[in-house]
Structure 1
Amino acid sequence: MSDTPIGSEVLVVANARSGASLGRPDRVPDVQRRMPGATVHRLGEDETLDDVVTAAVADDSPPRVLAILGGDGSVSRAAHLARRHDLTLLVLPNGTFNHFARSAGIDDVDAGLDAYRAGHVRPVAVAEVSVDGGDPITVLNAVSLGAYPEFLAERERRTSLGKWWGGAVAAWREVHGAHPVDVVRGGKRARVWSVFAGVGRNDPDHIATMQRATLHDAVIDVRVHHARGSRLRAIASLAFGRNTVKVLRALRVMPPASDLERILDEDFELEVAAGSAPDIWVHDGELEEVGADGFRMRVRAVADGLRVYLPAADG
């Protein structure tokens, strides 16, 4: 047997700021117990994940695996850095929603550690999004513009309430203040409430495809909600839980099929017209400000773009 401690090739970055639960236990001791050879770094208040990973790969003994203990935003950024530095990603979900982890069958930290111990690495499809020709950003789940980024911006202004109550207040405000967005694609102009561009084909009944349904489908599944109905329907369309969607449909507040458009493409481009809405967008739950009046967005599917430790049942 090898004398090398388990996890000696792994850099674990723990983001204590992920999630909003005050009762969430500290999982770092569990990670250290099961991977005693790993380098574990707790992300400080003034540190970024980029800084920590860049310093680690420049070391004399760089890691070959990047493990991230955090939520959706942290996992998404870690995926971007893993691709940049040719590392394998290990997801240790510790956020509120954990969208990518759930899609990958990694329900909790222990499931992620089990996948590492089993050594089951597989490539998964990702997307790359760029704005106005800038550097591409890795996307694991979805990109969105319109009502959803505005909702997130409202929620973040109420972080003291937590994600759930803050979300409720944000939804109420957006029902009264959501703005339609003017977009142009292929010379055709449309006024929309929202656009979601998700990685891989997803449930056709959902508009807000914030959690991917497949790991290996290298296509962008776009949902366009045309602004023909009320603001209430615009906000109701952001529901992503299966049961929630059923309830909203029963209450007849979800938009009708005639207001929705689905586009499947490997390379999707869209222009947001100047002056039509706040210049913000979101990827994997992370808000981005463009800082310009109007912008052009490109979302491109990348087959086998990221190596990830997955449960053996993934196949």
Structure 2
Amino acid sequence: MRRSYWRVGRVDAELVRRSGELPPTPFDTLFRRLGRAADHSKLWFAVAALLVARKGATRRAGLRGLAAIGGASFSASLVAKRLFPRRRPAAELLPVHRRMTRRPTSSSFPSGHSASAFAFASAVAMEHGPIGAVVFPAAALVGYSRVHTGVHWPSDVAAGAAIGVGAAWATRHWWPHGAGLPEQSEPPVDVPEVGDGSGLVVLVNPASGTDNVDPTAEIIAMWPEAEIIRIEPNTDPVKAMTTRLDQGGVRAVGAAGGDGTVTAVADLAVRYALPLVVVPAGTLDHFARDLGVDGPADTRDATQVGAAVSVDVAEVAVERRESTERITFINTASLGGYPELVRLREKLESRWPKWFAAAVAMPRTLRRAQPLPILLDGEFKLVWMLFVGNGSYQPKGFGAARRASLSSGKLDVRYLRADLPYSRARFVLAALTGTLQTSHVYRHFEAPATEVTLLGPDRRIATDGEVGPSGSRFTFRVRPRSLSVYRLPPP
């Protein structure tokens, strides 16, 4: 090992010497400025801010990049630099015009700049290949700039790059990537072609998404003959749409907005046996993403050729003393802490983006949560929260992210036990270490139906991110392949 160490040192010294012999060029100034821009990952934070401002894969790329930077910075600066102290190259090895004005004083090994740069680039490439292809060369330039300006040995940069790639890959442990899920297996179904929008009624939410971009003009451009019903303050758009459907002559219904808008129209589509046109225009668009619809153009192309699939919807019957209300959901429903989380998130959304408001609301909600005594299919349980998904979500644990299929015919039921000592702290620790599936505080099963009876006061249920009515008994069931949705077949 000592012989290998000295061999690497000789190679490093030779490469730095050759770098120092390069003639002066305008790139000398560029590399100094690039290194300063990457100090404390400022360059990557700026790029991430641009990516997060856009929806879809671009936003996920920015968020995953930030998560990877956090892991890389911790591993390189707080762990590796302390375990492997190393002197930086002597300033005399380079001409004066190449040297940094302020030379770092921390350990040379590994390069923290390279770790952050390659962590960000690798994470972005996982979510958005074309953007990753642009960011990777920038990361490589940042890495080389550390050698060009004489503050790192080449092996420092190589080690930092390896740490960065590893940190990006490690994010998949807590935030699974969509790639690798089985191909979607929803069965095809015959539906009418509505290429010009004839017979199509679309419910449009003009305030959907974090950008508050009204999708109405885009809807009209794609389906000029479609009828538009907009969600406006102090109106009941669902009632207006129901009235229009009762009049007849409608061949398909559409939803342009987030998951809440899609759920409302999906319920009508099932009731009136009409196919659904999904135009993703919300913040996260979970249903559209799992369906395989990346944008409005995908849906437009499907309506022009009449391509559609049959998918499941789920239903919960909320029982109160006087009545029972049935609610359709296409993604998830939950009891316990989650409805409180939604209410707190909605308060914070007036000042922050939805995703950030949710991140702030989660720890606050868990800290204030009260144990919920229930009968789950007749068995007593004491839980912090209960999650019910329409279909089998991946991964298992409370980081549910994706569904491989929307026609599994099963409900995905998960809950956190509250009858064990320090269960909330154990939950947080298991979630951070990715061991929730083996933790005693977590339970999971799949079934076509399940019943939850509260043994305390009535509680509210949350469905698809919206807080619903309160009740004392909740009966969940899946309605297999009851909804037809426009989608092109996979390539």
User: Fold-level match, TM-score > 0.5?
Assistant: yes
- Show CA shifts across 1:257-277 (max 9, x none): 2222112211111112214xx
Superposition RMSD in Å = 2.5
In structure 2, do the counterparts of structure 1 residues 175 and 54 end up closer, same or farther at CA, with 3 Å as the change threshold? Answer: closer
SS at match of 1:86: coil
Q: Does 1:231 align with 2:408?
A: no
- Letter of the structure 2 residue corresponding to residue 231 of structure 1: R
Cα offset for 1:180? Answer: 1.9
Q: Give the letter aligned to residue 196 of structure 1.
A: F
Distance 1:112 1:21 in 2: 21
What TM-score does the superposition give when structure 2 sets the normalisation length? 0.55
Map of 1:216 onto structure 2: 407
Query: 1:137 and 1:235 mapped to 2: Cα distance?
Result: 31
| Matching of residue 99 in structure 1 with residue 292 in structure 2 | no
- Residue 241 of structure 2 is matched in structure 1 by 53
Find the counterpart in structure 1 of residue 389 from structure 2: 198
CA distance in 1, matches of 2:437, 2:349: 29
SS state of the match for residue 168, structure 1?
helix
State the distance in 2 between where 1:140 and 1:128 align.
9
**1:178–1:231 contact (8 Å) kept in structure 2:** no
Aligned to 1:297: 474
Distance in 2, matches of 1:308 and 1:142, equals: 18
Match of 2:450 in 1: 268
Secondary structure of the equivalent of 1:262?
strand
User: 1:72-123 CA distances to partner (integer Å, 9 max, x unpaired)?
Assistant: 1110111011111222111001001101000000112222222212311221
Distance 1:186 1:92, change over 3 A: closer
Identity %: 30
Segment drifting more, 127-136 vs 93-102: 127-136
- Identify if the C-alpha distance between structure 1 residues 236 and 222 changes in structure 2 by more than 3 Å, giving closer, same or farther: farther
Q: 1:41 aligns with which of 220, 229, 247?
A: 229
More strand by share: 1
What is the TM-score with the length of structure 1 in the denominator?
A: 0.84
User: Structure 2: which amino acid aligns with 1:52?
Assistant: A
Partner of 1:240: none
Q: What is the Cα deviation at residue 219 of structure 1?
A: 0.9
Give the conservation status (yes or no) of the 8 Å contact 2:205–2:230: yes
Contact kept in structure 2, 1:118 and 1:312, CA below 8 Å: no
CA, structure 1 residues 5+304, in 2 after alignment: closer, same or farther (shift >3 Å)? closer
* Pairing of 1:132-211 with structure 2 (within 5 A): 132=319, 134-162=324-352, 163-209=354-400, 211=402
Which amino acid in structure 1 is aligned with residue 448 of structure 2? E
Is the Cα contact below 8 Å between 1:57 and 1:63 reproduced in 2?
yes
Distance in structure 2 (CA, Å) of the matches to 1:259 and 1:139: 26
Structure 1 alignment gaps of length 5 or more: 238-244
Pair member with larger Rg: 2
Tell me the residue number matched to 2:171: none
Kept in 1: contact 2:256–2:281 (CA 8 A): yes
Write the distance in 1 (CA, Å) between the matches of 2:289 and 2:303.
16
Which deviations, in whole Å up to 9, do the C-alpha atoms of 1:247-301 show, x marking residues without a partner? x226x8x5852222112211111112214xx7111111111131x5xx1111111
- Tell me, in whole angstroms, the C-alpha distance in 2 between the residues paired with 1:71 and 1:236: 32
Cross-structure match for 1:284: 464
For 2:201 and 2:423, locate their aligned partners in 1 and report how far apart those are by CA, in whole Å.
48
Are 2:434 and 1:257 equivalent residues in the alignment?
A: no
Shift of 1:233: 5.5
CA gap of 1:81–1:31, structure 2 versus 1, over 3 A, is same
Cα separation, partners in 2 of 1:120 and 1:172, compared to 1, 3 Å: same
Task: Please say if residues 191 and 226 of structure 1, whose CA atoms lie closer than 8 Å, have aligned partners that are also in contact.
Answer: yes
* Higher RCO (CA < 8 A, seq sep 6+): 1
Report the CA distance between 1:11 and its aligned residue. 0.6
**Counterpart-to-counterpart distance in 2, 1:181 and 1:221:** 19
The equivalent residue for 2:51 is none
CA offsets 1:128-154 (integer angstroms, 9 cap, x no match) = 111117242222111111121121121
Q: Is the 8 A contact 2:333 2:463 kept in 1?
A: yes
- For the 8 Å contact 2:337–2:366, the answer to whether it is kept is no
Q: In the alignment, which residue of structure 2 is the partner of 1:313?
A: 490
Tell me the secondary structure at the aligned position of residue 304 of structure 1.
strand
Unaligned runs of 5+ in 2: 1-193
Instruction: Give 1:205 deviation, angstroms.
Output: 2.5
Any runs of at least 4 consecutive aligned residues in structure 1 with deviations exceeding 3 A, and if so which?
208-213, 229-237
2-structure distance, mates of 1:52, 1:210: 34
Alignment: residue pair count = 292
Alignment partners' CA distance in 1, 2:401 and 2:268: 21
The answer as to whether partners of 2:195 and 2:304 remain within 8 angstroms in 1 is no
Relative to structure 1, the CA distance from residue 231 to residue 266 in structure 2 (aligned partners, 3 Å threshold; closer, same or farther) is same
Report whether the alignment pairs 1:63 with 2:63. Answer: no
- Greater shift, 201-210 or 74-83, is seen at 201-210
* Matched residue type, 2:388: A
Change (3 A) 1:142 1:172: closer
Tell me, what secondary structure is at the counterpart of 1:312?
A: coil
